[in-house]
Structure 1
Amino acid sequence: MKFIETALSQLVVQFGGNICSFSGLPSQSNPSLRGIQTLEKGTAEHLGFLANPKYKEQLLTTRIGVVMVKADQFEGLSAWLSDQGRDPTSAPLAWLLPDPYLAYAKIQQWWLAQSEFKPAPGIHPTAVVDPLANIDPSASVGPNVVIGAHAVIANGVRLDAGVVIGRDVQVGTRTRIYPNVTVYDECVIGSNCILHAGCVIGADGFGFAPEQGHWVKIPQVGRVVIADDVEVGANTTIDRGALDDTVIGFGVKLDNQIMIAHNVQVGERTAMAGCVGVAGSTRIGARCTVGGAAMILGHLNIPDGTHISAATTVMSSIKEAGAYTGIFPMEEHKNWERTAVSLKQLVKLRGELRDLQKK
């Protein structure tokens, strides 16, 4: 993406910190910058960051103009560069900040907001909008968008091409919905949310009652309620509740291709990586993290502050917060086969051990 040209001094005024030279001399330079790049690929017109000192060797060869570093690491980095023989006059300027990685996130957000294309408010002529829908004049409704009756689209909302908003849906202020997202009837999307392309909010939960070898569908009449500041990744699906609502709490971050089943509740500021599956009626607490491809069975409780490692299967409720892992480390296949055979014998071996203990 092409970012607008911005003077370093303008960024410092906006985000704080101090500019220093690795030579130890005061710097009067005020370069114009055109975005953030890696230390490996950046040029003199780029801003970079060094969040982890183990990558400091990249400072020896980088051509980047300015690098964000932790303020309390600058002196050590400067001395190390000198020991390694890098000419300090050719080194990048150092922007001293308490947390370069956090600064990177905030600066990139600002730069993107200043640089990205913003469609004019209004409704595209190809959009199909029910006359009973309520759309704020400041909202942007893109090509081929469909909006149902009594839907409420708040100020500053952006609906990209092909979005479908059902009847009685509410979309909060400044929420961005990317192309081909579908929000089913009556669902609620909060303010400052991001819904990435292809995600589906409010499809029927998987509910069926058995009858003589057949399945009888249970109507899913709850909603999906998404709080403010939530991000939902591409092709992620969140099912509506059977009776009660499926609820996604404030500040939750969901990666791509996640499946959230009916009546699940996810606590505020919880984050889940790609391909996680959560079965119905499970309650996940606040500030939890769930690694990619983890599977959480239904009707479970996960307490606040719990971390679940990637590919872990959670089959019972967790009583105390902590870090939980349930995966086998990878090994050569023939060794894995031996391990699997041994595992199958554990119950038998346990019985034999008990017999020995009795004797």
Structure 2
Amino acid sequence: MKFTPSRLSELLPLFGGRVEVLNAVPEQVDLADIALVGIRPLDSAQACHLGFLSNNKLKSQLLTTRAGVVIVRESRFDELREWLSTQSRPEPWPVFWLVADPYLYYARIQQWWVARSEFKVPAGIHPSAVVDPEAIVDPDASIQANAVIGAHAVIAAGVNIGAGVVLGRGVKVGENTRIYPNAVVYDECELGRNCIVHSGAVIGADGFGFAPENGAWIKIPQVGRVLIADEVEIGANTTIDRGALDDTLIGYGVKLDNQIMVAHNVEIGEHTAMAGCVGVAGSTKIGARCTIGGAAMVLGHLNIVEGTHISAATTVMSSITEAGAYTGIFPIDTHKAWEKTAVALRQIMKLRAEVRELKKQ
């Protein structure tokens, strides 16, 4: 993205923090002259870029970076300055912007820069969009080419509906929510304010519910909805199934990565985050402020307590009642060594019985 040029003197009052300059006093630096055109990694930044150092292990990059301004952690700057004083650098040091949390500042400033720089889609309905006469679309919303809006749908002010998006009958979309091209929201599902739904996401498809009968499967109609609270982000090609009877619930501030599967009647608590390819089976309840690593699998009808952290590729087979970090990954090995381990694992129950017998003797 091409960012709108900004000056450090403009950013400082907006975001706070203070400036330090090595071998000079801050008052001698004309902040109005430091023009910036975006944030870049330290190893590729130029004088017109803002960089940030969030991991002190990467401080050696400060010796070669060409960034004009670098965001650093204020609480560690004295230590950093002492180390830099023992190092040599062929070019002048960048200006250091001291803040409480460099990574958080990076996120906040980047949000501001994107909002200021990105193309603003004009409000209105594209001529090729199909909007049911019984739908309610705020005049300040944008409906782009080939989108389809069903009857009784309600689209609030500031909503941006991308090209080819399909919103079913009775769908509600809250203020300033953005739905990227070719996402689908089934009938009667609801999204809150300031949500982001990326391309290919499907919200409200039928849950996987079938009753067995003589070796065949009888479909159970899925009559619940998907209710999504404010400030939720849903990644590309992620699917969230509607409930069988009750609703599937996604709490405030939840962040879902790409290609996640959330089954029917799942409840996800506020500010929980899941990385790509996670699968959550039906009727599981996940508490607030949990994190689930990529490709982890959570079985159905479980309860995961608030504040739980599950490592990538872990399979959760029982409820978690005590907050903490949980990992269930068998380490990779050569195939030959893995075969030996597999054979040994098959003997564990036999060995267990033998050990018990020996203990008795």
Match of 1:22 in 2: 22
Kept in 2, the 8 Å contact 1:23–1:78? The answer is: no
Give the secondary structure class of the aligned counterpart of 1:72: helix
The equivalences for 1:102-251 within 5 A come to 102-251=104-253
How far apart, in 1, do the equivalents of 2:78 and 2:311 lie? Answer: 37
How far apart, in 1, do the equivalents of 2:37 and 2:151 lie? Answer: 44
How far apart, in 1, do the equivalents of 2:322 and 2:77 lie? Answer: 40
Kept in 2, the 8 Å contact 1:194–1:231? The answer is: yes
What is the Cα deviation at residue 58 of structure 1? 0.3
How far apart, in 2, do the equivalents of 1:106 and 1:306 lie? Answer: 26
What is the Cα deviation at residue 291 of structure 1? 0.6
Structure 1 position 58 matched with structure 2 position 100 = no
How far apart, in 1, do the equivalents of 2:252 and 2:243 lie? Answer: 18
Q: What's the CA shift string for 1:63-92, capped at 9, x where partnerless? A: 1100001112222222222211225x6111
How far apart, in 1, do the equivalents of 2:35 and 2:348 lie? Answer: 66
Q: What's the CA shift string for 1:207-245, capped at 9, x where partnerless? A: 111111111111000000000110000000000000000
What is the Cα deviation at residue 318 of structure 1? 1.3
Match of 1:73 among 71, 76, 80: 76
How far apart, in 1, do the equivalents of 2:76 and 2:354 lie? Answer: 59
Match of 1:36 in 2: 39
Match of 1:308 in 2: 310
What is the Cα deviation at residue 196 of structure 1? 0.6
How far apart, in 2, do the equivalents of 1:332 and 1:23 lie? Answer: 54
Match of 1:12 in 2: 12
What is the Cα deviation at residue 302 of structure 1? 0.7
How far apart, in 2, do the equivalents of 1:190 and 1:338 lie? Answer: 53
How far apart, in 1, do the equivalents of 2:43 and 2:323 lie? Answer: 40
Structure 2 length as normaliser, TM-score? 0.98
Give the secondary structure class of the aligned counterpart of 1:202: strand
What is the Cα deviation at residue 356 of structure 1? 0.5
Q: What's the CA shift string for 1:263-315, capped at 9, x where partnerless? A: 00111111101000000011111111111100001111111111111111111
Structure 1 length as normaliser, TM-score? 0.98
What is the Cα deviation at residue 22 of structure 1? 1.8
Structure 1 position 96 matched with structure 2 position 98 = yes
Q: What's the CA shift string for 1:83-121, capped at 9, x where partnerless? A: 11225x611100011111100000000000000011110
How far apart, in 1, do the equivalents of 2:281 and 2:178 lie? Answer: 27
How far apart, in 1, do the equivalents of 2:296 and 2:332 lie? Answer: 16
What is the Cα deviation at residue 332 of structure 1? 2.2
Q: Which amino acid aligns with 2:30?
A: S
Give the secondary structure class of the aligned counterpart of 2:86: helix
How far apart, in 1, do the equivalents of 2:319 and 2:148 lie? Answer: 41
What is the Cα deviation at residue 338 of structure 1? 1.4
Match of 2:324 in 1: 322
Q: Which amino acid aligns with 1:157?
A: V
How far apart, in 1, do the equivalents of 2:233 and 2:97 lie? Answer: 30
Q: Which amino acid aligns with 2:23?
A: S
Q: Which amino acid aligns with 1:43?
A: Q
Q: What's the CA shift string for 1:130-173, capped at 9, x where partnerless? A: 00000000000000000000000001000011100000000000
In structure 2, the gaps of 5 or more residues are none
Identity of aligned residues (%): 67
Q: Which amino acid aligns with 2:14?
A: Q
State the aligned residue count: 358
What is the Cα deviation at residue 182 of structure 1? 0.1
Q: Which amino acid aligns with 1:29?
A: D
- Cα RMSD after superposing both structures: 1.0
How far apart, in 1, do the equivalents of 2:67 and 2:309 lie? Answer: 37
Match of 1:288 in 2: 290
Kept in 2, the 8 Å contact 1:199–1:235? The answer is: yes
> Which segment drifts farther, 78-87 or 97-106?
78-87
What is the Cα deviation at residue 23 of structure 1? 1.8
Q: Which amino acid aligns with 2:153?
A: A
Give the secondary structure class of the aligned counterpart of 1:96: strand
How far apart, in 1, do the equivalents of 2:71 and 2:359 lie? Answer: 63
What is the Cα deviation at residue 24 of structure 1? 4.4
